[in-house]
Chains A and B, each alone.
Chain A
Amino acid sequence: MNSLKRLSGFIWIALGVAAVYMMASQAGKEISAAAAANKAVLDTKMFWYIIIPIFAPIMAGLCLFGWYAWKGEYDVVARDSEHLG
């Protein structure tokens, strides 16, 4: 089980990176398409200007989670808050 937890760490890191890349490329495509068609440019920009700054740091958190998992930090999870902090 612990090896599965550690190996999955790579998946969470990859997922975090892929999500940011996909968001950025989709934003680029949609904003260019809207500008070319001169249709709903402001709405398209507004959507992506909200989404990217919000989700990018969270995806960085997912990468960090994956890193910790890969390093075996979650092999034993302290279920008692006494052992934290």
Chain B
Amino acid sequence: MTSTSTSEPMESKGLMKVITASSVGTLIEWYDFYIYGAMSVIIAKQFFPQDNPTAAFLAALATFAAGFVVRPFGALVFGRIGDIIGRKYTFLLTLLLMGGSTFAIGLIPGYASIGIWAPVLILLLRFVQGLALGGEYGGAATYVAEHSPVGRRGYFTAYIQTTATLGFFLSLGVILTTRKSVGVEAFNDWGWRIPFIVSIFLIAVSVYIRLKMAESPLFAKIKKEGKVSSNPLKESFANKRNLKMVLLALFAAVMGQGVVWYTGQFYAQTFIERTMSVEFEQVRYLLCFSILAATPFFLVFGAWSDKIGRKTIMLAGMLLAILTYRPIYKMMYTYSDAKAKTEITESGSKGVAVAVAANGDSTITTTTVAVYTDGSTLKTVKKEVKLADASRPAVKPETTKTLWLSSGGFWMIAFLVFIQIIYVTMVYGPIAAFLVELFPTRIRYTSMSLPYHIGNGIFGGLTPFIATRLFDASKTTENPGGDPYVGLWYPILIAGVCFIIGLLYLPNKNDEDVSD
């Protein structure tokens, strides 16, 4: 065992430069990836016009899922390149692909202008984004880990782990600022394009920073010695000794980590916005506060994993999530459950407006505002269309609910989301170091990227999609509201299986030397 993971110990100043350069690029890639998800409802209206809003939302989520599902393929393509030509040029390429496709999404005309080409182009660009992201993370994590000193790898790679959450935070910030600046109506019409277009400037800065970086010292060393793998895919997945570890990484760690991450950070948002009907800006503000408060814990748990082992912390995070998700979501839901609240009848209002179209159809819009003793306000808008020609098929009434939380409710939900993000920091903080230590340098990029992106892209990325689907399926004629917590069974089950496998098969010892 050598005393450092690199052939030459790196000064702390130099290491921080490496971390900054890697992290800024990864952060921007995450930003690019998330703005799409954060605006899926608006994009659904612009590019996937359907009469049923749930169907439109699912269509957008499917595209969101498409971005996730192709990530493992990106891991294979770029992992291979990274193990053959090097880490530096590979993650420069992924950055350019991601930035270019994000910028292009902001320029595509809507369905109303170019018809079916609009959703087709969106889908294609989303695929490119997914591929690029699949190649980015493994490169950045490997690059930082291969520069890190022994005994601090968990801490230093945790900086890379913060980028996913900070990228999400940045995307929320840019969206909120743009929405405030241009107004809600203009934002829904064309303003949503601005966060996509802004990406090109962020990418330019990041490419400039990364161009100045040197190749990873461990990769440079094996390249000099002629030990670079000629076929990393074959070595990674056709060699039983290595394939065994790929499977172990996926089923004993990353699968559970993925669902805990996407439940805390994304399904929580979907639940608060769609199931609880909390107002758009309130949801984003409370997420911003929760994320900001929890982010330093990535570093805390990353550093702690250097001392007590990666397994202990990751499995503890999974167990806490399994045990507390249902109570947490039940507590959150009480703030939107009208049955659990007392209405102040004299403060409420009801208004009816009738608009008659040229063809004689009349639209009756009933707006009801209910004020509750806990300080929250619920606005319900019901639109009914009365057709002039009764022989035409009836139009289904449309009801939209918007809940404004009281200050107490806002902070309580922010706290409950914060707890979920703490679980995210426990499972996600040490994962880069864990994966890097599992595989040898010559095939590290390929071997660690695939389980990471199956666990996060597929098991994790599909969490909001599957959970929303379960919720919609629970709506019956007897219970039209459905079971709001049924979607949680998916992450609980996956994390539960992963916890048991991890407990049985994973050792808790960190591999100090990754220079092999």
A69 touches B505 (CB 8 A): yes
B55 within 8 A of A: yes
User: Nearest Cβ in chain A — how far from B462, in angstroms?
Assistant: 8
Q: Given A15-B497, A50-B62, A61-B250, verify A85-B505 contact (CB < 8 Å).
A: no
B183 within 8 A of A: no
B511 touches A81 (CB 8 A): yes
Q: Given A65-B248, A68-B244, A82-B440, verify A74-B505 contact (CB < 8 Å).
A: yes
Chain B, range 237-286, C-beta contacts under 8 Å to A: 239-242, 244-245, 247-248, 250-251
Closest to A16 in B: B251
- Chain A at the B interface: SS class: helix
B182 within 8 A of A: no
Bits for B482-516, please: 1 = Cβ < 8 Å to A, else 0: 00000000000000010011001111011101101
State A75–B215 Cα separation when bound (angstroms). 37
User: Nearest Cβ in chain B — how far from A13, in angstroms?
Assistant: 12
Note all chain A residues with C-beta closer than 8 A to B462: 51, 54
User: Nearest Cβ in chain A — how far from B127, in angstroms?
Assistant: 13
B235 within 8 A of A: yes
Note all chain A residues with C-beta closer than 8 A to B440: 81-82, 84-85
User: Nearest Cβ in chain A — how far from B28, in angstroms?
Assistant: 27
Interface residues on B, range: 35 or more
State A79–B244 Cα separation when bound (angstroms). 12
State A54–B71 Cα separation when bound (angstroms). 12
Closest to A73 in B: B244
Interface residues on A, range: 20 to 34
Residue picked from B501, B510, B514, most chain A C-beta under 10 Å:
B501
A54 touches B458 (CB 8 A): yes
Closest to A67 in B: B247
Note all chain A residues with C-beta closer than 8 A to B55: 40, 42-43
Note all chain A residues with C-beta closer than 8 A to B193: none
Q: Given A68-B247, A80-B513, A81-B437, verify A43-B242 contact (CB < 8 Å).
A: no
State A64–B246 Cα separation when bound (angstroms). 11
State A68–B509 Cα separation when bound (angstroms). 21
A35 within 8 A of B: no
B438 within 8 A of A: yes
Note all chain B residues with C-beta closer than 8 A to A47: 58, 469
Note all chain A residues with C-beta closer than 8 A to B458: 54-55, 58
Closest to A62 in B: B251
A78 within 8 A of B: yes
A61 touches B509 (CB 8 A): no
State A1–B52 Cα separation when bound (angstroms). 53
State A11–B310 Cα separation when bound (angstroms). 25
State A50–B65 Cα separation when bound (angstroms). 9
Residue picked from A40, A50, A64, A65, most chain B C-beta under 10 Å:
A65
A36 within 8 A of B: no
B322 within 8 A of A: no
A85 touches B239 (CB 8 A): yes
User: Nearest Cβ in chain B — how far from A70, in angstroms?
Assistant: 12
Note all chain B residues with C-beta closer than 8 A to A84: 241-242, 245, 438-440
Bits for B148-178, please: 1 = Cβ < 8 Å to A, else 0: 0000000000000000000000000000000
Note all chain A residues with C-beta closer than 8 A to B506: 77
State A12–B255 Cα separation when bound (angstroms). 14
Note all chain B residues with C-beta closer than 8 A to A52: none
A24 within 8 A of B: no
Residue picked from A8, A65, A81, most chain B C-beta under 10 Å:
A81
User: Nearest Cβ in chain B — how far from A83, in angstroms?
Assistant: 8
Chain A, range 25-53, C-beta contacts under 8 Å to B: 30, 40, 42-43, 46-47, 50-51
User: Nearest Cβ in chain B — how far from A22, in angstroms?
Assistant: 12
State A65–B502 Cα separation when bound (angstroms). 13
State A50–B63 Cα separation when bound (angstroms). 11
Chain B, range 407-441, C-beta contacts under 8 Å to A: 437-440
State A43–B60 Cα separation when bound (angstroms). 12
Note all chain B residues with C-beta closer than 8 A to A46: 58-59, 62
User: Nearest Cβ in chain B — how far from A45, in angstroms?
Assistant: 12
Note all chain B residues with C-beta closer than 8 A to A5: 504-505
Closest to B232 in A: A85
Q: Given A62-B251, A68-B247, A85-B442, verify A80-B511 contact (CB < 8 Å).
A: yes
User: Nearest Cβ in chain B — how far from A48, in angstroms?
Assistant: 10
Given A8-B500, A8-B504, 17 extra CB contacts under 8 A: A40-B55, A42-B55, A43-B58, A46-B58, A46-B59, A51-B462, A65-B248, A68-B244, A73-B240, A73-B244, A77-B506, A78-B241, A79-B510, A84-B438, A85-B236, A85-B241, A85-B440
A-B contact pairs, 13 of them (CB 8 A): A1-B504, A5-B505, A30-B473, A46-B58, A54-B69, A58-B458, A61-B247, A62-B251, A65-B251, A74-B244, A79-B510, A80-B516, A81-B437
10 nearest A-B residue pairs (beta carbon): A82-B516, A65-B247, A81-B440, A85-B440, A79-B509, A85-B242, A79-B507, A74-B505, A80-B511, A43-B55
